[in-house]
Amino acid sequence: MEYVGVKKKQGSIVEVLKDAILSGDIPNGTEMTQNELAQSLGVSRMPVREALILLEYQGLIDRLPNNHVKVSQLTDDFFHHVFRHAAMLETEALKGWQDLEALPDQEMEFHREIWKNHRYSFSKKALETLIEIYTAFVVNSGNCVGSARKLAAVKMLWKSGEQEEGEKALFEYFGMLADAMVAMRRERGDGTC
């Protein structure tokens, strides 16, 4: 389990494993046990078990029998699907938004404001996962050049009442993020994308 051992001190077990999976450092389909992960990270099985429950909820791993897990098949299509859903949920929220002027300009804060104030609890929770796991990973990586400018254009279109163009631009923005994610994983050598 050389995948994650050296990163232990950089963050929580969930964060370390999430970043290793999303970046492709732990390739698609990799099978692991709670014991292997605990040894690799230098922790007991309990925090690993708790982290795996969250990672399963986030769509990054699949549970197998006997305390085994497998990294989900995070393909090109998977990432395009994930970001398309984020665009749909944000569009739904923006259509009912009362004060577009109040939306923050900073990229991640813009998304967080939308999911925190989504009117439907199920959509709110789904959007939180899409934003805090997938969108944050790409935005914070710095590998999606121009995404902040594109999002500023999205906000401007919505504020000016050009809802149809704003919706189209929002889908293009999330498409940029999906493309950046796929390119980043390919650069890391995970040929399964």
Asked if residue 156 has pLDDT above 90, the reply is yes
- Percentage of residues in the chain with pLDDT exceeding 70? 92
Asked if residue 8 has pLDDT above 50, the reply is no
Domain boundary among 39, 71, 103: 71
Half-sphere exposure of residue 189, counting CA atoms within 13 Å on the CB side?
Answer: 3
Provide the domain count of the chain: 2
pLDDT, residue 98, reads 83
* 193 domain residue, yes or no: no
CA distances from 144 to 106, 140, 149, 153 (A): 15, 9, 11, 16
> Are both 90 and 173 inside the same structural domain?
yes
Dist CA 142 CA 184 (whole Å): 10
Q: Tens of pLDDT along 32-52?
A: 999 999 999 999 989 999 999
Asked if residue 192 has pLDDT above 70, the reply is no
> Are both 119 and 158 inside the same structural domain?
yes
Asked if residue 139 has pLDDT above 70, the reply is yes
The DSSP element (H or E) to which 39 belongs, if any, is helix 34-41
- Under a CB-based contact definition with an 8 Å cutoff, are residues 16 and 41 in contact? yes
Residue type at 65? P
- Mean pLDDT in residue range 72-100: 94
Which residue is it, tokens 């970043």? 19
Name the pLDDT band for 6 (thresholds 50, 70, 90). Answer: very low
For 164, the domain range is 76-187
CA distances from 193 to 40, 48, 174 (A): 26, 26, 18
pLDDT, residue 189, reads 58
> Are both 24 and 112 inside the same structural domain?
no
Q: Give the 3-state secondary structure of residue 34.
A: helix
